Amino acid sequence: MSSTPTRGEGHRRLGLRRFVRTLLFDYPYVVRVHLVPRSARRVPADWRRGDRAPVLLLPGVYETWRFLRPIAERLHELGHPIVVVPGMGHNRRPIAATATVAQRIVDAHDLRDVVVLAHSKGGLIGKTMMVSTDRDGRLARMVTVNSPFSGTRWSLYLPNRTLKAFSPRDADLLRLADQLEANSRITSMASGFDAHVTEGSVLPGATNVTFPVDGHFRPLGNPECIDMVVAAVEHWPDAAAHDAG
């Protein structure tokens, strides 16, 4: 019997190689974030200053605001005040509860024309704010990186209450997906292959953009991807030029 793989077997092997390679390139960024010195773990005192649109940082699950720091620093240099939500910790609380906490910060500081910058779970929190908690219309738009708007199948196999919220069958996630009116104000940016968000991040009616790299975390520290995110925040009308969907 020939040992040559069939077409299907070859595709599975290629998929496995890409999966493993993606993780190998993905997690060095996570390690770098966690290994920063203690002095770099404090929110910079001058981040609240700026005369451009405020940018609200919403990281992913098990993440802190520091995962978004490279992009936030670029945006602050351009004049955007950067807003971090105190008390988020590693973002393990339910999506709706975290949206309420974040909205209180926006309301308490009377922020207007806010741009949400979110990674992964942060995109679900941001959209929840847009459709539920932002009663005064303070949030102008949102730019997301690898957000599981359609869930991820991994949540079906992981016995973890925090991760179950990302199940493609989750009732709250399905209801959020049905809220289409906010999508036109969202730029959903995603890697070509994301081993964590297996269903992808395409959002109907949104501006959908594909990064030139694979990985869930890698775009947050990749210079070319950072340039793309900054451009999406800075030049909203031009973002459609990158529309992949």
Residue 65's nearest CA partner among 73, 124, 132 is 73
Whole-number Cα distances in Å, 172 to 20, 128, 184? 31, 10, 20
DSSP SS3 for 133:
helix
Residue-level pLDDT at 171: 94
- Chain Cα centroid distance, residue 48: 21
- Long-range Cβ pairs for the range 199-204 (8 Å, 24+): 199/148, 199/150, 199/151, 199/152, 199/153, 199/168, 200/150, 201/123, 201/144, 201/146, 201/147, 201/148, 201/149, 201/150, 202/149, 202/150, 202/245, 203/149, 204/180
Residue-level pLDDT at 41: 75
- Is 0.85 surpassed by the pTM of this model? yes
Residue-level pLDDT at 105: 97
- pLDDT tens by residue, the chain, 245 residues: 333 333 333 334 447 777 777 777 787 888 888 777 776 778 999 999 999 999 999 999 999 999 999 999 999 999 999 999 998 989 999 999 999 999 999 999 999 999 999 999 999 999 999 999 999 999 999 999 999 999 998 888 876 888 888 999 999 999 999 999 999 999 999 999 998 898 899 999 999 999 999 999 999 999 999 999 999 999 875 444 444 44
Token pair 């199940």 is found at: 167
Angstrom distance (rounded) from CA 176 to CA 207: 17
Residue-level pLDDT at 39: 67
Q: What is the residue-wise DSSP string for 14-65?
A: HHHHHHHHHHHHHHHHHHHHHTS-GGGGSPPGGGG--SS--EEEE--TT--G
Q: What is the residue-wise DSSP string for 54-107?
A: -EEEE--TT--GGGGHHHHHHHHHTT--EEE-TT-TTS-S-HHHHHHHHHHHHH
Q: Which residues of 223-241 are buried (b: 16+ CB within 10 A; e: fewer)?
A: eebbebbbbbbbebeebee
- Chain Cα centroid distance, residue 218: 12
Q: What is the largest CA-CA distance in the chain?
A: 72
